Structure 1
Amino acid sequence: MRSTSHAAEPTRLLDEPVCLHRLTDPVLHAEGDPHRVWRWMRHHAPVLRHPDGDLPAFWSLTRYEDVRAVYRDPETFSSRRGVLLRPAHRGEDPGGGMTLALTDPPRHRQLRAVVAGWFTTRSVRWLEESMRDSVRAILARVVDEPVVDFVQDVAGRLSMYLIGSIMGVAEHDHEKLFRWTNEAFEAGVSLAAHQELMHYFIGLMERRLVEPADDLVSALLGGTIDGALLTEEEVLLNCENIVGATENGRLAIAGGMAAFLARPDQWERLGADRSLLPTAVEEVLRWTSSATHSMRTATRDCVIRDQRIAAGDRVVLWVASANRDEDVFVSPDHFDIGRTPNRHLALGIGEHFCLGATLARAQMRILYSELLDRIRLIEPAGPAHRVRSIAVAGPETLPIRLTLR
């Protein structure tokens, strides 16, 4: 792997002034250094209230222990009213109380049980050969191209093809699914707003109602909670929720490759010692923290670090900040594929621990392994650009050149 030259990661002075209002500006996350802002907040204002503006008022949490504690207390901090900051004029998320992401116990556990069988360690092991075949096919498709956009051509296709297969999308429709989701991601809109995508899943649901199959859509249609079938609206919204989660997967995979390109010694270290693959995957997840924040709503008055949170207040967990907390991670701004322990929160914790965590880890491990086996040289082929978002983080484009062994 060849890198462009880069300077050592600078040490930031904690007393440097920061513009806190820019934390919710997507431009900062795409072109600036949000970690500088979070670093200051962790030390000077770990629980900070942001006033009303384009976004409704909310509290920011930036320390690991506080983020972890809120994740583990769904009774006090509810997901039902939304898990992402939304402009005030858009109101609350319409999927509240109906999707995996937007439900609280006990309904969340019941809904999770309907689909959990597809994401167990045993199921993922059964899918591993299929994942490996997909990786090989994707690499064969791009390896002769003069320039490859790793985000779209590799990470995006891999994530979407895999979840499409699990959901029951026919193989010949995978590319359509990939194109439609890309259109929604690039436009920064909900997948539910993409008419062709939603019409496709409505049609798939209608076919599975007549002829169930061994796939996730059939599981949702046949699932019951308290003896009642899920409504068709609930099934459709959960399909959208599950497909939408692939954006985090592709950004983590691509963000990991960007980290390796900037630090080729770590890629060479991984190639020399494949036993580091599991810890490398965990470090990629921590480092990229592709889900930048998660939001909760307080169900009752409470206190966090002497700050009084009122019932109904929004509380934003800056996961990317928690995963660089100096009190938890040694040299947190250093990318180390051998890091251990590494109890990051990139996949959440508690009730809402990522359902697809085992799948995501396997997918990343297989991809990096196949790249090491088949590709002699990976080098940058132009500037990378980060997504403009406060919800997700990672490369929007990552142009590279691949040279076969």
Structure 2
Amino acid sequence: MTVTVGLRPEQLVDPGLHATGDPHEVWRWMRAHAPVHHHEAGDLPAFWSLTRYTDIRSVYRDPGTFSSARGVLLRPVAMGEDPGGGTTLALTDPPRHKALRGLMADWFSTRAVRELEGYMRDAIRAVLARAVEQGTCDFVHDIAGRISLYVIGRILGVPPKDHEDLFRWTNEAFLAHTSLAAHHRFMAYFVDLMDQRLEHPTDDLVTSLVHGTIDGEPLTEEEILLNCENLVGATENGRLALAGGMLALLEHPGELRRLREDRSLLPGAGEEILRWTSSATHSMRTVTTPTVVRGQRIEAGERVVVWVPSGNRDEEIFDHADRFDIGRAPNRHIALAAGEHFCIGSTLARAEMRILLTEILDTVGRIELNGPVVRLRSIHVAGPESIPLSLAGR
């Protein structure tokens, strides 16, 4: 098999490609020529890459064959397996996954999100007003990051006075590309919060975890803490989707004009932003029993990595897949996964996007780039690390 000069599947594990190169060029070649590709072990374990939409969706929808319990992200061999394996919502398989999800689902339901909309709108208006008053901002840090963190903080039961501390700790971990579980102040805070809710239950998600049971047994302290860490850590995907959406609209001014002129496009714009940004770059599974994908046998114990942005640009599924189109319909993207592991925060993510775009259209008259955009150096999440903007109110 001959790979076009300059294009090699092995480049996908180079964070530099995702920061300054074009991984979509590599994925496009792989979809055409190597949709099932084996990567030899190195710093990372050996794994199979899947780049076609139908294969990725099939993996998501078959947790019996493709297990999440041993980790869902590529980790250097030297680090060993993910310590949250079999413990957190992201790293469990049915039936435990379903039971654990049941303890959290009410906090992310359509009704719960509807009740949160007033809070989200107030929080968004506050951060936008501050940015307009200053005249400049970093959209990722000052707006998208704060919105995502403040909202999950409220759901978990973190008092508003502590939101900025939580925001600072998560930023420190995200910028260092380390797990929140390794941030001692973050974990100590949630140990204290867990103890408080054990003695004084309130109406929040931490209380649900502390007092919840699975098969009649309470969750362990480690399970509660790691699930809190997992939920807060997921705000990185939220901030990247919000920030990536703003960047996409700025880079496609015609689509921004369409949205200003026709607000009925808002729901579709949100879906296209999710497809276009695909902030979760990859998801890994471990094969539990020998299986065949496109004629290639994959053995039990081997790892399979699905590249979500590639699936969301698959030419077999999406017409003009490399075009950003807020009126795209249908738009059956897999940015929020599928099957058992369909994103528990999907309704919340869509509401945040809709309210943010609405408030920007209503209150911001001028918004433009004010410097170079910096993209993340990561194979795990995709999107802008910094978007410097200048903006003014209406």
Question: What is the TM-score normalised by the length of structure 1?
Answer: 0.96
| 2:321 paired residue among 332, 339, 357 | 332
* Match among 30, 45, 66 for residue 34 of structure 2: 45
Question: How far apart are 1:348 and its partner, in Å?
Answer: 0.3
Structure 1: distance between partners of 2:366 and 2:312: 30
Distance 2:122 2:133 in 1: 18
Which of the residues 186, 200, 210 maps onto 1:211?
Answer: 200
Deviations 1:51-76 (A, max 9, x none): 01010000000000000001000000
Is 1:289 the counterpart of 2:284? The answer is: no
Match of 2:251 in 1: 262
Q: Is residue 225 of structure 2 the alignment partner of residue 236 of structure 1?
A: yes
For structure 2, the 5+ residue unaligned runs are none
Where 2:390 maps in the other structure, the secondary structure is strand
**Quick one: which amino acid aligns to residue 284 of structure 1?**
I
SS for the counterpart of 2:367 is: strand
Equivalent residues in 2 for 1:9-48, closer than 5 Å: 17-48=6-37
The one-letter code of the counterpart of 1:130 is Y
Indicate yes or no: 2:165 matched with 1:176: yes
Match of 1:91 in 2: 80
Task: For residue 142 of structure 1, report the CA deviation from its aligned partner.
Answer: 1.6
Aligned equivalents of 1:124 and 1:259: distance in 2? 25
Query: Whole-Å Cα distance in 1 between the matches of residues 5 and 181 of structure 2?
Result: 42
Counterpart amino acid of 1:56?
P
Deviation at 1:22, TM superposition (A): 1.2
User: Runs of 5+ in structure 1 lacking a partner?
Assistant: 1-13
1:145 maps onto 2:138 in alignment:
no
CA distance, structure 2, for counterparts of residue 309 and residue 214 of structure 1: 46
CA distance in 2, matches of 1:15, 1:83: 30
1:392 matches 2:381: yes
Is 2:169 aligned against 1:192?
no
Decide whether the 8 Å contact of 2:135 with 2:392 is kept in 1: no
SS at match of 1:56: coil
Asked if 1:361 is matched to 2:361, the reply is: no
Which residue of structure 1 aligns with residue 332 of structure 2?
343
The answer for the alignment partner of 1:8 in structure 2 is: none
- How many angstroms does 1:20 deviate by? 2.1
Q: Does 1:378 align with 2:367?
A: yes
Distance in 1, Cα, partners of 2:6 & 2:239: 34
Q: What is residue 159 of structure 1 aligned with on the other side?
A: 148
Q: 2: distance between equivalents of 1:251 and 1:239?
A: 20
How many angstroms apart in 2 are the aligned matches of 1:19 and 1:65? 22
TM-fit CA distance, 1:208 = 0.5
SS of alignment partner, residue 144 of structure 1: helix
Q: Give the corresponding residue for 1:313.
A: 302
2:114 is aligned to 125
| C-alpha distance in 1 between matches for 2:58 and 2:34 | 17
d(CA) in 1 for partners of 2:38, 2:8: 14
Q: Give the letter aligned to residue 356 of structure 2.
A: L
Which one is further off, 355-364 or 137-146?
Answer: 137-146
**Does the CA-based 8 Å contact 2:275-2:334 persist in structure 1?**
yes
The percent of aligned pairs where both chains have the same amino acid is 65
SS of corresponding position for 2:332: coil
Q: Supply the distance in 2 between the matched residues of 1:173 and 1:309 (Cα, whole angstroms).
A: 48
Matched, 1:352 2:335: no
Partners in 2 of 1:366 and 1:398 — Cα distance?
A: 20
Q: Following TM superposition, by how much is the alpha carbon of 1:268 offset from its aligned partner in structure 2, in angstroms?
A: 1.0
Look up the SS of the partner of 2:283 in the other structure. Answer: strand
Q: 1:223 aligns with which of 205, 209, 212?
A: 212
Q: Shift of residue 46 of structure 1?
A: 0.1
Deviation of residue 146 (structure 1)?
3.4
- Once superposed, what is the RMSD of the aligned Cα atoms? 0.9
User: What CA distance in whole angstroms lies between the structure 2 residues aligned with 1:151 and 1:83?
Assistant: 25
- How many angstroms apart in 1 are the aligned matches of 2:84 and 2:382? 23
Which of the residues 39, 54, 69 maps onto 2:58? Answer: 69
2:95 maps to 1:109: no
Note the alpha carbon deviations across 1:66-94, whole angstroms, 9 max, x for none. Answer: 00001000000000000000000111100
Residue 19 of structure 1 and its aligned partner are, at CA, apart by 2.2
SS in 1 for 2:389: strand
In the superposition, the TM-score normalised over structure 2's length comes to 0.99
- Alpha-carbon distance, 1:144 to partner: 1.7
* Length, aligned pairs only: 392
| 1-structure distance, mates of 2:375, 2:12 | 16
Q: Following the alignment from structure 2 to structure 1, what is the Cα–Cα distance between the partners of residues 93 and 189?
A: 29
Partners of 1:385 and 1:109 in 2: CA distance: 38
Could you give the per-residue CA deviations for residues 199-223 of structure 1, whole angstroms, max 9, x where no partner exists?
1111100111110110010011111
